[in-house]
Chain A
Amino acid sequence: MLVCSKCKKKAVSTIPLLCKEHFVSFVEKKVGETIKKFGLIKKSDNVLVATSGGKDSLTTLFILKKLGYDPTGLLIDEGIGGYREKTVSDMEEFSKKHGVSFVKKSFKEEHDFSLDAAMKKLKGKISACHLCGVLRRRLLNKYSKKYDVIATGHNLDDEAQSIVMNILKTNLTLMPRLGPISGVIHDEKFTKRVKPLYFLSEKQIKTYIFLQGISNVYTMCPYTATSFRNDVQDWLNKIEQEIPDTKINVVNHYLRNQRVIKENTFVEGDKISKCVHCFEPTNHEKCNACLLVESLQKKVIS
């Protein structure tokens, strides 16, 4: 039987080798250190957590509360049948049990269509992930005006996948946007977005949420099965099994070179102004979200 490297009780984790108490402490300390080292959140900040009701965002809410912040959750219901209802239910249960407030917005109330309805009409012309991402980010920014920072549940696995995806697609202009603080343009029209779970792996987060007894139903977005990210995720997990620490090495290598990457790939674009339709930030007359919604509303609602 393997025992904790700190106290000799039975180990519940191998990376690092720790018992329940020391593992929980390790995870919370890691989040605290990430926040401090990268200046993610000040104690006085009003924090909004983008939450799906999934393990990563529930962990973000739980740990931020434990660290003395007073986070509020923002849950966006995209209208994905057989998936979103389950996580909304987890979020409601979590909110009651742990005294964390949250608000819910939906694509349906915002745009008059659900993601499922849009995808039926589009028939593969736009990827679900792209559409969902554009609309979700716009809503996050729209409903975060009263807050100083948006925290997302993005973790080590997510970041390693994004880095690899950008390289494989030679999409290097997106590289500078990665890191514990998302984005490159720091403008008052954008709410700062941060990733407190940045250095924690999926497995560590799942272990934590299990040990804390936080209810979290297993569910997969039906649109991820065919996504490029899914392929990269599978590949990285295979490599990780053969060569441990691959993911953290990819991420650390990116961070060591982030400044150079930004200097060499980020091109200062047009000034950020406000979309003429929704007043959200854009460097065009209309933002991407509004352009997409306009073309979709004609197809989906008619």
Chain B
Amino acid sequence: MKVFIESESKTRKLVFCGSIKELLKKLRINTSTVIVVRGEELLIEEDVVRDEDEIRILSVISGG
């Protein structure tokens, strides 16, 4: 799975299949600080992703 983490400007590759909640826990990302997107589809914590998905984790915190 390719995961782009906006706050780090990095794409990470990992093996994962499970819920967004589990993915964020694995990546140690606080759920209230991000929204998660697959293509143009907004995903919530209970949504399930597969290993072949490409995910973007967008930060809700920005600016000053």
Contacts and interface: CB of A to CB of B under 8 A. Distances in A.
Interface of A: 1-2, 11-14, 20, 52, 54-56, 80, 83, 87, 129, 132, 201-203, 205-207, 210-211, 216, 218-221, 223-224, 233, 237-238, 240-241
Contact of B6 (A218, A221, A233, A238): A218
Contacts of A54: 62-63
A193 B37 CA distance: 35
- Top-8 shortest CB links A-B: A221-B64, A206-B60, A54-B63, A202-B60, A12-B42, A203-B60, A240-B32, A2-B46
Interface of B: 6-7, 30-35, 37, 42, 44-47, 58-64
B63 A210 contact: no
Contact of B44 (A11, A211, A223, A240): A11
A220 B63 contact: yes
A210 B37 contact: yes
Contacts of B64: 52, 80, 83, 129, 132, 220-221, 223-224
Contacts of A237: 30, 32-33
A87 B64 CA distance: 11
Contacts of A2: 44, 46-47
A12 B36 CA distance: 10
B35 A207 contact: yes
Nearest to A202: B60
Contacts of A223: 64
Contacts of A80: 64
Given A13-B44, A54-B63, A241-B30, 5 more contacts: A52-B63, A55-B62, A203-B32, A205-B60, A206-B59
B63 A211 contact: no
